[in-house]
Amino acid sequence: MAYSTATRQAFADDIATIKEKGLFKEKRFICSPQAAEIEVEYPEGAAREKVLNFCANNYLGFSSHPEVAKAAHAGLDSRGFGMSSVRFICGTQDIHRELQDKVSVFLGMEDTLLFPSCMDANAGVFEAVMGQGDVIIADRLIHASLIDGIRLCSAEYDTFKHMDMKHLRKKLELHQDKRRRLIVTDGVFSMDGDLCPLDELCDLADEFDTMVLVDDSHASGFIGKTGRGVHEHFGVMDRVDLITTTFGKALGGASGGCVSGRSELVELCRQKARPYLFSNSLSPVIVSATIKVIDLLSSSTELRDRLEANTGRFREGMTAAGLNIRPGVTPIVPVMLYNAKLANDMARDMYAEGIYVIGFFFPVVPEGQARIRVQLSAAHENEHIDKCVAAFKRVGEKYGILGLDKKGIIEKYGK
C-alpha cells in the first residue's frame, strides 16, 4: 500500500503542527443563503445560530438578490448549466460575449476576457503579456494570486514599499534599462482597506513609460461615484492599462473573474493565458446573473450609495465607541488589536453576541498587526450596524481596550 501507516502519520503530524501554531482553520457551515443575516453551524455539530454576517465580500448584497437569482434561473433555462468545454473549443456562448462587452463598457476598457476566477485571471495575465527582458514592479501587499501569477512569468520582478510612491520612483529609475515595465497594485488592499493612490501612480507610469495593472476585486461595483472602481475614484479611467477583477465579491458573489484592458493585451491573454486555455468556461448560470448585476449597477448607484452610507455609520459608531479602527473610506474596516490571541478571543465573543466576524493574524497579516476585519454590505440595515457596534463596545469593554490607541493596546496585551 502506497499510503502506509507511516505516511499517514507524517501527514497527521503536519496537521498537528498547524494546530500547535494556532493556524488551523476551523470548519464553519452556513445553513442559509449568503446574506446580512445568516444561520451558522459552528463549531461543527453545534446547534445552528442566527447571526449577523460582517465578514462576507457581499458588498452590494447581490449574493441573494432576487433579481440576480431570477436572472440565474433564466440563464439556466435558456442556456443550460454547463458548457463542458474550454472557451476556444465550443465553450463560448453569445452571453459570454455579451458579458465581456458589458464589463468593458462598465470599467471603461477596450476589451475584456472572462476567466473562471480572478485568481485564474491573475495566474494567466502576466505570462501572456510580459516576458524575458521585462520587469514587473509590484506593491509589497498585493494579493497572493498576483504574486503567484508573477512567479509563473519569465519577466524579472521587483517590489516597492506599500503605497510608497517615492520608493516606486526609485524602482522605476532602477529599471529604465528593461524592455517593458509593468506596475502592479491592488486598487483596494483587502486587509487594510486602503486605496492605492492611482493618480500619483499613473503620473509615475507616464513619466517612466510604464504600464499599469490594477486588481480591483475589492472595488469593482462600489468604489468611485458610479462604482466603476478605484480608477474612477482617482479620475484615471483612461490611464490604467489592465484591470483584473472578480465576480465573486460585489459583482454577484458566485465566481468568475476577468482581465479587462487595452485590446492587444486582452487578445494576448485570449491566445496565451493558460488558465483561460485550459479550464472550463464560466457557467451560463453565472454569466446570466452577472449580466444582470452589471445592468443593475449601470442603471442606478443606489446600492453603492447605501454601502457608502453604511460604511460611514459603522466607522463613526466604532470611533465614538472607542474602538481603534484603521481610518479610511472603504467598507473594509480593520479593528486593530495587534495581539493574535486577543483578536481570536474577541472574535469568539462577538460570535456569542450574534455577530459573525473573524480574527486575522500572522501570516495572513504581518506579525504584530492582528485585527478583526469587518466588512460592510449594502444589505445591512441600520439596526444591524448599530447592533454590531454595540457588541464591539461590550466586548471591547470586557477586554479593557476602549479608548486605547496602538501603544495602549500593545502595553496591555503585547504584540
Catalytic residues: 190, 218, 249
Q: Could you give the 3-state DSSP secondary structure of residue 143?
A: coil
The H-or-E segment that residue 87 falls in is helix 87-90
Give the strand order in the sheet containing 370-375.
Answer: 332-338, 370-375, 358-360
How far apart CA 228 and CA 385 sit, in angstroms, is: 25
Q: What is the DSSP letter of 47?
A: P
How far apart CA 376 and CA 394 sit, in angstroms, is: 20
How far apart CA 69 and CA 35 sit, in angstroms, is: 13
Beta-strand relationship, 181-186 and 135-139: parallel
Considering the complex, state which of residue 171 and residue 292 has its C-beta at the smaller distance from another protein: 171
How far apart CA 229 and CA 243 sit, in angstroms, is: 10
Residue 3 CB neighbours (<10 A): 8
Q: For 194-299, where are the E strands, in sequence order?
A: 211-215, 242-246, 257-261
CA neighbor of 61 nearest in space, from 303, 273, 353, 272: 303
Written as nine digits, the cell of 139 is 506593491
Written as nine digits, the cell of 16 is 498537528
Written as nine digits, the cell of 344 is 481570536
Q: Smallest distance from the beta carbon of 160 to another protein, in angstroms?
A: 9
Binding site for another protein (CB under 8 A): 138, 140, 147, 157-159, 161-162, 164, 362-363, 366-367
Q: Smallest distance from the beta carbon of 334 to another protein, in angstroms?
A: 16
Q: Could you give the 3-state DSSP secondary structure of residue 183?
A: strand
Q: Smallest distance from the beta carbon of 158 to another protein, in angstroms?
A: 5
Are 58 and 377 contacting, i.e. CB atoms less than 8 angstroms apart?
yes
How far apart CA 47 and CA 344 sit, in angstroms, is: 21
Written as nine digits, the cell of 86 is 474550454
How far apart CA 330 and CA 312 sit, in angstroms, is: 9
Considering the complex, state which of residue 65 and residue 171 has its C-beta at the smaller distance from another protein: 171
Q: Smallest distance from the beta carbon of 57 to another protein, in angstroms?
A: 23
Beta-strand relationship, 29-30 and 355-356: unpaired
Are 413 and 364 contacting, i.e. CB atoms less than 8 angstroms apart?
no
Q: Smallest distance from the beta carbon of 189 to another protein, in angstroms?
A: 14
Q: Smallest distance from the beta carbon of 274 to another protein, in angstroms?
A: 21
Amino acid in the structure at residue 119: M
Q: Smallest distance from the beta carbon of 325 to another protein, in angstroms?
A: 17
Q: What are phi and psi of 75, to 5 degrees?
A: -65, -40
